[in-house]
Amino acid sequence: DAGVIQSPRHEVTEMGQEVTLRCKPISGHNSLFWYRQTMMRGLELLIYFNNNVPIDDSGMPEDRFSAKMPNASFSTLKIQPSEPRDSAVYFCASSLAGESKNIQYFGAGTRLSVL
Amino acid sequence: SQQGEEDPQALSIQEGENATMNCSYKTSINNLQWYRQNSGRGLVHLILIRSNEREKHSGRLRVTLDTSKKSSSLLITASRAADTASYFCATHARGNEKLTFGTGTRLTIIP
């Protein structure tokens, strides 16, 4: 299996622009997680899906952030409009919910810089 | 606030020595997991210990869990330069699929 695939790996954009991050989970996994990692705040869970349905979006910072999972093999995280404080590394992870372990498999991340 | 807090925040040791990292958490758990993150990469699962287990081994890794103290430790024996990374504990509670990650320990192995 190719693992969790995220794109792009790096994104540089200007303040006010729309940013879309993409994630392909491991085939067969039914839970998907979006995280943000910064030096100041560490690793934060933004939102997670189970069977393509958003379960907990309490970590989404504000209305500028939105996430979708139209099918089991694809998810997007959108920031509109972007701000410099959104600069961070964004990770997607997937797991097989229902088994008792809930081990998560992470993608390589998208490093976002908002100028 | 973070569910898990790792201690120490940073650790530097000589190659060949043992490294011990600690994690404290606040609520009841189903299991506790340790992950490693190399610079610029995603997190990788290392080992899992269930709430009814006290100790687990995997290669050079040894994990202990004390649910009465809500704490865990990760021991890496005979450290190697390739062990240089950040290490995170993560707790899983019953009833949902999410993990709550700690703040991490940055481990540096000096050759």
CB half-sphere exposure, A83, CA atoms < 13 A = 6
3-state helix, strand, coil in chain B (%, to 5): 5, 60, 40
Q: Which of B48, B97, B100 sits opposite A31 (nearest CB)?
A: B97
* pLDDT, position B1: 32
| A100 — pLDDT class (breaks 50, 70, 90) | low
pLDDT at A78: 98
The pLDDT of A31-36, averaged and rounded, is 97
**Does position B4 have pLDDT exceeding 70, yes or no?**
no
Q: pLDDT at residue B60 above 90? A: yes
Nearest to B98 among A45, A105, A106 (CB): A45
User: Residue A110 pLDDT more than 60?
Assistant: yes
pLDDT at position B2 is: 37
Residue B43 near chain A (CB below 8 Å): yes
CA angle at B42 for the pair B33 and B36, rounded to the nearest 5°:
40
- Which H/E stretch holds residue B14? strand B10-14
Residue type, B96: N
Residue B46: is its pLDDT beyond 80? yes
Of A43, A50, A109, the CB nearest to B97: A50
Closest CA in chain B for residue A45: B100
CA nearest to B31 within chain A = A101
Q: What is the pLDDT of residue B81?
A: 96
Give Cα B108 distance to the centre of its chain.
15
**Which residues in chain B have their CB less than 8 angstroms from residue A55's CB?**
96-97
Q: Among A62-76, A98-112, B29-43, which stretch is predicted with the lowest mean pLDDT? A: A98-112
Whether the pLDDT of residue B52 is over 80: the answer is: yes
More confident residue, A2 or B13: B13
Q: How many Å lie between the alpha carbon of A65 and the closest alpha carbon of chain B? A: 20
For all residues of chain A together, what is the average pLDDT?
94
- Count residue pairs from A and B with Cβ separation < 8 A: 56
CB under 8 Å to B45, separation ≥6 — which residues?
A103, A104, A105, B33, B34, B35
Looking at the complex, report in whole angstroms how far the Cα of residue A102 sits from the nearest Cα belonging to chain B: 6
> What proportion of chain B, given as a percentage, has pLDDT over 90?
84
Chain B residues touching A31 at Cβ < 8 A: 97
